[in-house]
């Protein structure tokens, strides 16, 4: 990949990111088709392998086969590898191998790395990539070691693999699990009252979801929050709000009949996992319509820029709210923490919102029409796909090929990002400085 950038400078950073994800998804599909990848020793059909590979690379978690019962240890390892590549980013992984081998990174390659992790500038990008790799390995190792005693107690020596797999899946916000040996498609419902697994998985999801740039801020400035970038302050503030408010709702309205300890764990877990991890410790199909709607909103919002999570991103929502408040208060520009938000960020936020809502609704409507299923259930699945979450009401394995293809497209678009696709498509168009005459239009 690095050589490709060097030899063909006509390929833009955005195009390379898209092609990189496509290549890894296709390779993963072919590997999962191998007889050695399935427990039965038979070839898994290409489309089902493609769906699984796309879900893994796009760190979504929607599945057509139960991961624990259909895939062999080799197949599970391939899925975990795809999750790791997808979570860190294809370009980041490729650049890491280049750094390890001692190769020099060109300016064009650094620009691609910058776009891949949403870094604010090219300067220091190589150092930041090294920090990302080290942080990822360290946190996943710590998470696995904490969960290992619990899983070894339940599964014997197999618990070592279980701990490693779930730690990678949680940090990368993928939502794949190996609990199907107890009950297929059960996710972590069997551990709904287990504090070690609940708290560790939640922390891994949060750490992976707030973004590497935020962690760089934390590393450099410690507890001196005033020194953080505005973006880091916004991410941390919005993340706290998006965990606290839904948890309060779930506590009082959805899990009131559970014992106190389990009630708290379930409320917190269901508030954390929709952004955008895909694990669940409660039966989502038994939640009220309002509860499912809250989860849909959280799935669409997702995590933060430059993280392992998908969705519209916390900063997008923050910019939209700041813009709305500035209009209500008749202020000239939206701002946070004494810093004005750039006009380009506002335009991008509005574009991203429109793209996600359009894809979410059109995908849900299409599946509802094709399958003859209730729209609300179909919208839940499409929100999970476009937000790269993986939570499901159990519909995905039952859908026909066309409906599953719609989910594949949504997962891919949700992971690479709508703006990345637009910028890749229009990269050859020349920018013009001419403007059309302006005329007022009434809105609202």
CA–centroid distance for 256 within its chain: 30
Does the pTM surpass 0.75? The reply is yes
Burial category of 45 from C-beta neighbours within 10 Å (exposed 0-12, middle 13-18, buried 19 and up): exposed
Question: What's the pLDDT score for residue 213?
Answer: 85
Model confidence over 67-79: pLDDT tens digits?
A: 999 999 999 999 9
Structure tokens at 23: 């290549």
Question: What's the pLDDT score for residue 188?
Answer: 92
Give SS3 for 340. strand
Model confidence over 129-178: pLDDT tens digits?
A: 778 888 899 999 999 999 999 999 999 999 999 999 999 999 999 989 99
For residues 425 and 86, the model is more confident at 86
Residue carrying the six token digits 């898209």: 18
Question: What's the pLDDT score for residue 436?
Answer: 80
For residues 410 and 438, the model is more confident at 410
| R_g over Cα of the chain | 22
Q: How far lies 193's CA from each of 267, 276, 319, in Å?
A: 11, 21, 37
Structure tokens at 398: 């039952």
348-366 exposure pattern, b = at least 16 Cβ within 10 A, e = fewer: bbeebbebbeebbeebbee
Question: What's the pLDDT score for residue 288?
Answer: 94
Q: How far lies 317's CA from each of 86, 157, 322, in Å?
A: 24, 44, 9
DSSP annotation string for 157-189: THHHHHHHHHHHHHHTT-----GGGTSTT-TTG
Question: What's the pLDDT score for residue 7?
Answer: 46
Domain limits, the chain? 2-422
Any idea of the CA torsion for 424, 429, 431, 437, to the nearest 10 degrees? -110
Model confidence over 424-442: pLDDT tens digits?
A: 555 555 566 777 888 888 7
Question: What's the pLDDT score for residue 2?
Answer: 44
| Whether the Cβ atoms of residue 249 and residue 294 lie closer than 8 Å to each other | yes
Question: What's the pLDDT score for residue 356?
Answer: 92
Model confidence over 399-408: pLDDT tens digits?
A: 999 999 999 9
Average pLDDT, the chain: 87
Model confidence over 234-288: pLDDT tens digits?
A: 999 999 999 999 999 999 999 999 999 999 999 999 999 998 788 999 999 899 9
| Whether the Cβ atoms of residue 214 and residue 235 lie closer than 8 Å to each other | yes
Model confidence over 102-112: pLDDT tens digits?
A: 666 666 666 66
DSSP state of 71: B
């Amino acid at each position: 990949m690095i050589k490709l950038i060097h030899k063909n400078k006509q390929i833009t950073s955005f195009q390379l990111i898209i092609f990189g994800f496509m290549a890894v998804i296709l390779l993963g599909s072919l590997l999962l088709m191998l007889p050695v990848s399935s427990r039965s020793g038979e070839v898994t059909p290409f489309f089902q392998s493609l769906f699984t590979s796309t879900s893994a690379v796009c760190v979504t978690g929607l599945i057509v086969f139960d991961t624990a019962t259909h895939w062999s240890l080799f197949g599970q390892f391939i899925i975990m590898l795809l999750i790791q590549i997808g979570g860190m980013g294809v370009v980041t992984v490729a650049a890491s191998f280049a750094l390890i081998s001692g190769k020099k990174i060109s300016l064009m390659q650094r620009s691609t790395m910058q776009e891949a992790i949403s870094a604010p500038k090219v300067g220091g990008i190589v150092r930041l990539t090294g920090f990302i790799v080290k942080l990822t390995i360290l946190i996943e190792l710590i998470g696995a070691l904490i969960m290992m005693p619990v899983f070894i107690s339940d599964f014997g020596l197999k618990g070592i693999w279980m701990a490693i797999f779930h730690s990678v899946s949680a940090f990368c916000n993928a939502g794949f699990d190996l609990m199907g040996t107890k009950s297929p498609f059960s996710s972590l419902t069997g551990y709904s009252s287990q504090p070690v697994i609940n708290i560790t998985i939640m922390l891994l999801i949060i750490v992976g979801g707030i973004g590497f740039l935020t962690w760089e801020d934390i590393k450099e400035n410690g507890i001196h929050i005033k020194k953080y970038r505005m973006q880091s302050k916004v991410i941390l503030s919005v993340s706290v709000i998006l965990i606290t408010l839904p948890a309060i709702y779930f506590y009082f309205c959805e899990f009131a009949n559970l014992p106190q300890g389990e009630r708290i764990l379930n409320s917190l877990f269901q508030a954390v996992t929709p952004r955008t991890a895909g694990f669940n410790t409660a039966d989502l199909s038994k939640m009220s319509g309002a509860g499912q709607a809250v989860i849909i909103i959280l799935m669409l919002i997702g995590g933060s820029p430059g993280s392992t999570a998908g969705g519209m991103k916390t900063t997008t929502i923050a910019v939209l709210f700041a813009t709305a408040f500035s209009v209500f208060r008749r202020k000239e520009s939206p701002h946070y923490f004494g810093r004005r938000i750039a006009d380009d960020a506002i335009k991008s936020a509005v574009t991203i919102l429109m793209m996600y809502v359009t894809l979410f609704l059109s995908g849900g409507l299409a599946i509802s029409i094709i399958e003859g299923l209730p729209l609300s259930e179909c919208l839940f699945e499409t929100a999970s796909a476009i937000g790269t979450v993986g939570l499901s009401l159990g519909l995905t394995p039952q859908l026909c090929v066309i409906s599953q293809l719609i989910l594949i497209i949504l997962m891919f678009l949700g992971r690479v990002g709508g703006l990345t696709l637009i910028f890749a498509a229009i990269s050859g168009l020349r920018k013009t400085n001419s403007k059309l005459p302006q005329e007022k239009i009434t809105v609202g």
